[in-house]
Chains A and B, each alone.
Chain A
Amino acid sequence: MEASGIKPLGGERFWLGVLLAPTITGLIFGTLGSVVATLLISLTDWDLLTPPQWVGLANYIKLFTDKDLFESFLNTIKFSAMYVPGVAVVSLAVAMLMNRRIHGISLYRTMYFLPVVTSAVAAALVWQMIYGRDTGLLNYVSERLGGKPVCWLCPSKALYSVVIVNVWGAIGEGMIIFLAGLQAIPRDYYEAATVDGASGWQQFTRITVPLITPSIFFQTLITTINAFQAYEYIYMLTRRGQGDSSVPVVVFSIYRRAFNFFRMGEASALAIELAVMVIALMAVYFWLERRYVVYE
């Protein structure tokens, strides 16, 4: 494709440079250059005040020997393992319900989309009220229905509670993506299948799922990237008095080690590990895409 396009003439080469200058600056300072810098810092012990000390791979080994760091990795993985399928299943279900020709679709769509435009900080404040053990709305409702009060934000339950809030916040976006995919399926496919006596479940597995594989792929890709970077609700809902978290995730640990304790080497090693995890998963996704995703 290098050959196509408008060729810059004479002085326009300068303007081409102007057009590309921000992007190139961003690559150097913002992203690619940062990866190199973070890699280098991760091999040192550095508090930003004294000169960095070369420590080799010690920071990476620490991830397996330091109990807190290991726990934060485990939490990120557990969180993602619940969040990604959770968002996919619920938003697909909502999208399928909305794809039935019913009245009031735009009102429903607005209501499901509201959490997407809401800041996690503000939403977390109200969820903190809802999750309250003795005073919360959720326990009030569940007690009315005969349940026992649950300590939603205690360490044993907090991870699940945080997953619920994050799923709540992401359904709207997933719904839009799936709805776009569903609406592209011609209705007569289903009519033909009904005439041939296919059950609802058969129609779902043989028509719907295969035809929306591009949407499923794209949606899970986005939520996976988001899952590994999820941070706000965890910061707001599980932070304790001393500034630590009852359910630390990797991003929380990066923030804490780097900007509360100024252990830049440790934090950089964590960031690299996070990136490696995400990129490895992406590689798996793209491999799955080539095998299973059908583009028309």
Chain B
Amino acid sequence: MKISPGLRASNTLLDSGTYLLLSLGAVIMVVPFLWMVATSFKLPADQYTKTLIPDPATLDNFKELWQHLPFPRLLFNSFWLSILATIGQLLTCSMGAFAFAVVRFRGRNLLFTLLLITLMIPGQVALIPNFIVFKWLGLIGTQAPLWLPSFWGGAFGTFLLRQYFLTIPRDLADAARVDGASLMQIFWRVYLPLSKPALAALSIFVFQWSWNDLLHPLVYLPTDMQRTTLTVGLAFFQQQLVMGGKFTVLMAGALISILPLILVFFIAQKQFVEGIALTGVKR
């Protein structure tokens, strides 16, 4: 198609406008992060200076973190709990999803419908009965209430994986069946290996939710700094340090708490983005 000079000029103008708007927006998105990084390397006396380059720069804030909180412990707890949650969800959601997508059994539609209904129920509804059950089991004050529920499946993960399993041709399962494969072999050897993108997407979601969760650790482990998560530690820390006027140390803590996920994001950016598209497009 031949483009007239006038059209081309207006396109250049539009392109410049696009860059301008996108860059302006990008600055707003990124400034809080730059500010966090900058402040975490400033001297406490310079915490309110409006410069992006700390002068002089210091590592003292990171050292001081260790004095205020059992910081390595909190980091470890968050890691451990997020990994347990991810394993639990991958395992139990894929099991349920396989049954719903591949196996024929009575009551399948009813059970799946019940599961879908729970997608709409806010999690807060389960908070109080769960707390009471864990109290009866004597598990309040332990980490169990934070990871155990990951091992009882869940509507989101099961639905996501079921939709993915449905895209795998049934012929594969039938062929395996003819060759004498059992149900569990078909699950383990055919479906799981073919579903890596969906499994990766779910892992990333679950890890992220668990790592960033505040409500549940706040309910189950609000003060025990040896057992609780980084989010609770930081929230607790916030009150102490803001009073003490030490935003620099607080920013050092915030920075460390977001680094693992940002690293994962840079490594697995494709899975992040495709995961969100996967939940949205494949209904």
Contacts and interface: CB of A to CB of B under 8 A. Distances in A.
A251 B25 contact: no
Tell me whether chain A's interface is mostly helix, strand or loop, or mixed: helix
Contacts of A155: none
A77 to B, nearest CB: 15
Contact of A31 (B31, B48, B121, B251): B121
A111 interface: yes
A279 interface: yes
A111 B238 contact: no
A86 to B, nearest CB: 14
B258 A118 contact: yes
Q: Which of A7, A19, A123 has the most CB of B within 10 A?
A: A19
A280 B177 CA distance: 45
B32 interface: yes
B127 interface: yes
A115 interface: yes
Contacts of B174: 6
A41 B22 CA distance: 50
A89 to B, nearest CB: 13
Interface string A29-45: 11111110110010000
A255 interface: yes
B35 A31 contact: no
Interface in A109-150: 109-115, 117-123, 125-130, 132, 135, 137, 140
B64 interface: no
A55 interface: no
A264 interface: yes
Interface in B145-179: 149, 151-155, 158, 170, 173-174, 177
Given A109-B273, A125-B234, A229 B122 contact: yes
B276 A7 contact: no
Contacts of A268: 128
A33 B250 CA distance: 41
Contacts of B48: 132, 135
B129 A20 contact: no
A32 B36 CA distance: 42
Contacts of A177: 276-277, 280
A2 B32 contact: no
Nearest to A177: B280
A121 B250 CA distance: 11
Interface of A: 1-9, 12, 15-16, 18-20, 22-27, 29-35, 37-38, 41, 48, 94, 97-98, 100, 102, 108-115, 117-123, 125-130, 132, 135, 137, 140, 168, 171-173, 176-177, 180-181, 191, 214-215, 218-219, 225, 228-229, 231-232, 235-236, 251, 254-255, 258-259, 264, 267-268, 271-272, 274-275, 278-279, 282
